[in-house]
Amino acid sequence: MGAQAQRRPTLDEVALRAGVSRSVASRAINNARDVSRNARDAVQKAVRELEYVPNPTAKALATSRAGTVLLAVSHDDLGLFADPFFAHVIVGINAALEKTDLVLMLLLADSERGRERLERVLRSRRADGIMLLALHGDDPLYRLAQSLDLPVVVGGRPIHGEPTWYVDADNRGGARLATEHLISAGRQRIAAITGGQDTHAGMARHQGYREAMAVAGLDGSRTEPSDFTELGGVAAMTRLLERYPDLDAVFAASDNMAAGAIRALKAAGRSVPEDVAVVGFDDLPIARNTVPALTTIHQPVQALGQEMAKMLIDLMAGEQPNPLLLRTHLVVRASAP
Amino acid sequence: MGAQAQRRPTLDEVALRAGVSRSVASRAINNARDVSRNARDAVQKAVRELEYVPNPTAKALATSRAGTVLLAVSHDDLGLFADPFFAHVIVGINAALEKTDLVLMLLLADSERGRERLERVLRSRRADGIMLLALHGDDPLYRLAQSLDLPVVVGGRPIHGEPTWYVDADNRGGARLATEHLISAGRQRIAAITGGQDTHAGMARHQGYREAMAVAGLDGSRTEPSDFTELGGVAAMTRLLERYPDLDAVFAASDNMAAGAIRALKAAGRSVPEDVAVVGFDDLPIARNTVPALTTIHQPVQALGQEMAKMLIDLMAGEQPNPLLLRTHLVVRASAP
DNA sequence: AAGTGGACTGGAAGCGCTTCCAGTATCGCC
DNA sequence: GGCGATACTGGAAGCGCTTCCAGTCCACTT
Q: Residue A188: what pLDDT?
A: 94
Least CB–CB distance from B108: residue in A84, A91, A151: A91
- Express as a percent the part of chain B with pLDDT over 90: 62
- Reduce the DSSP state of residue B212 to 3 states and report it: helix
* Beta strand ranges found along chain A (DSSP E): 68-74, 103-109, 129-133, 152-155, 166-169, 190-194, 223-225, 249-252, 277-279, 296-298, 324-326, 329-331
By the CB < 8 Å criterion, does A329 face chain B? Answer: no
List b or e across A133-157, with b for residues whose CB sees 16 or more CB atoms inside 10 angstroms: bbbeeebebbebbbebebbbbbbbb
Contact B14, B61 (CB under 8 A): no
Q: Is B87 on the interface with A (CB under 8 A)?
A: yes
Name the helix (H) or strand (E) containing B298.
Answer: strand B296-298
For B121, residues 6+ apart whose C-beta sits below 8 A from its C-beta are A103, B70, B105, B107, B127
Sort B217 into a burial class: Cβ within 10 Å, 0-12 / 13-18 / 19+: exposed
**Structural domain spans, chain B:** 3-62, 68-168+301-324, 171-298
CB-to-strand D under 7 Å, chain B 49-68: 58, 61-62, 64
Pick the residue with more confidence: B270 or A73?
B270
| Confidence (pLDDT) at A1 | 37
Stated in angstroms, how far is B34 CA from C30 C1'? Answer: 28
| 3-state DSSP helix/strand/coil % of chain B, to nearest 5 | 45, 15, 40
Residues 216-235 of A with CB under 7 A from strand D: none
H or E element, residue B47? helix B37-50
- Closest-CA distance of chain A to residue B188, Å: 30
- What nucleotide is nearest A62 when CA is compared to C1'? C15
SS3 helix, strand, coil % of chain A, rounded to 5?
A: 45, 15, 40
Residues of chain A below pLDDT 50: 1-5
At A181 the pLDDT is 97
C-beta of residue B151 within 8 angstroms of C-beta of residue B312: yes
Whether the beta carbon of B27 falls within 7 A of nucleic chain C: the reply is yes
pLDDT digits (tens, 9 = 90+) for B165-219: 999 999 999 999 999 999 999 999 999 999 988 888 899 999 999 999 999 999 9
| Sheet with A190-194: strands ordered across | A223-225, A190-194, A249-252, A277-279
Count other C-beta atoms under 10 Å from residue A32's C-beta. Answer: 11
Q: In which element (H, E) is residue B62 found? A: helix B56-63
CA separation for the pair A236, A239 (Å, rounded) = 5
CB B250 within 8 A of CB B237: yes
Q: In the beta sheet, which residues pair with residue B154?
A: B132, B166
Tell me which residues from 110 to 129 on chain B have a beta carbon below 7 angstroms from nucleic acid strand D. none
**Number of residues written out for chain B:** 337
Per-residue pLDDT, A80: 66
Task: Assess if CATH 3.40.50.2300 describes domain B171-298.
Answer: yes
State the nucleotide closest to B13 in CA–C1' terms.
C16
Window 251-280 of B: residues touching A by CB (8 A cutoff) are: 259
Residue contact A66–B57, C-beta within 8 A: yes
Q: Determine the residue among B73, B86, B108, B288 to mutate to test chain A binding: the one whose Cβ has the most chain A Cβ atoms within 10 Å.
A: B108
pLDDT class of B136 with cuts at 50, 70, 90: low
Q: Are B114 and B108 in contact (CB under 8 A)?
A: yes
All residues of chain A having their beta carbon less than 8 Å from the beta carbon of residue B259 are 289
Quick one: pLDDT at residue A134?
66
Report yes or no: A332 at the B interface, CB cutoff 8 Å: no
pTM assigned to the model: 0.89
A155 vs A324: CA distance, rounded Å: 10
User: Is the shortest CB-to-strand distance from A23 to strand C under 7 Å?
Assistant: yes
Q: Is A241 helix (H, G, I), strand (E, B) or coil?
A: helix
Lowest mean pLDDT among A144-158, A216-230, B2-16, B271-285: B2-16
Cα–Cα distance, B163 to B142 (Å, whole number)? 8
* Residue B4 scores a pLDDT above 50: no
Residue B34: C-alpha distances to residues A170, A210, B26, B53, B59 (Å): 60, 69, 11, 22, 20
Top residue of A51, A71, A76, A90 to mutate, by most chain B CBs within 10 Å, is A90
Amino acid sitting at position B179: T
Taking an 8 Å cut-off on Cβ atoms, the answer to whether A87 and B86 are in contact is yes
Q: What is the pLDDT of residues B59-108, one digit of tens each?
A: 999 999 999 999 998 776 656 676 778 888 999 999 999 999 999 999 99
> Nearest by CB to B58, which of A61, A114, A290?
A61
Q: What is the four-CA torsion angle of A224, A225, A231, A236, rounded to 10 degrees?
A: -10
pLDDT at residue B156, as a whole number = 82
Confirm if A337 and A272 have CB atoms less than 8 A apart.
no
Degrees, nearest 5: CA angle B192-B194-B198: 160
Cβ <8 Å between B290 and A289: yes
pLDDT at B273 over 90: yes
Whole-angstrom Cα distance, residue B256 to residue B264?
Answer: 13
The alpha-carbon radius of gyration of chain A (Å, integer) is 26
What is d(CA A36, CA A29) in angstroms, rounded to the nearest whole number? Answer: 12
State, as a whole number of angstroms, the distance between the CA of B85 and the C1' of D3: 69
Give the gap in angstroms from C-alpha B232 to the nearest C-alpha of chain A.
16
Instruction: Give B294's contacts (C-beta < 8 A, 6+ positions apart).
Output: B255, B258, B259, B262, B278, B279, B280, B286, B287, B288, B333, B335
**Domain B68-168+301-324: what homologous superfamily?**
Response regulator (3.40.50.2300)
> In the prediction, which pLDDT does B79 show?
61
3-state secondary structure of B58: helix
Chain A hits for B88, CB-CB cut-off 8 Å, are: 82
Asked whether residue B24's C-beta has any atom of DNA/RNA strand D within 7 A, the reply is yes
Question: For A299, which DSSP code?
Answer: -
Of A3, A289, A290, the CB nearest to B147: A3
Q: What is the pLDDT of residue B6?
A: 58
CB < 8 Å to A289, chain B: 259, 286, 289-290
- Candidates A98, A146, A149; nearest CB to B113: A98
Q: How far is the CA of B44 from the C1' of D3 (A)?
A: 37
pLDDT at position B140 is: 76
Give pLDDT, residue A3.
37
* Residue B37 CB in 7 A reach of strand D: yes
Of residues B147 and A192, more confidence is placed in A192
Q: What are phi and psi of B295, to 5 degrees?
A: -75, 135
Nucleotides of strand D under 7 angstroms from a protein beta carbon: 7-12, 14-20
- Going by pLDDT thresholds of 50, 70 and 90, the confidence category of residue B137 is low
Q: Do domains B3-62 and B171-298 have the same CATH topology?
A: no
Question: What pLDDT is recorded for position B135?
Answer: 64
The spacing between the Cα labelled CA in A20 and the C1' in D25, in angstroms, equals: 16
Peptide bond into A292 cis (omega under 30): yes
Are B251 and B223 spatial neighbours (Cβ–Cβ below 8 Å)? no
User: B105, A107: Cβ pair inside 8 Å?
Assistant: no
pLDDT at A76: 65
Closest CA to B170 of B287, B283, B300, B285: B300
What's the pLDDT tens digit per position in B52-61?
999 999 999 9
Which amino acid would we find at residue B182? L
Summarised one tens digit per residue, pLDDT across range A135-188 is 665 677 788 888 888 999 998 877 777 778 999 999 999 999 999 999 999 999
Tell me: the pLDDT tens digits for B236-261? 999 999 999 999 999 999 999 999 99
Whether the Cβ atoms of residue A202 and residue A195 lie closer than 8 Å to each other: yes
Domain spanning A3-62 has what CATH number?
Answer: 1.10.260.40
Residue pairs between chains A and B whose CB atoms are closer than 8 Å: 135
Look at B55 and A124 and tell me if their CB atoms are within 8 Å: yes
pLDDT at B2 over 60: no
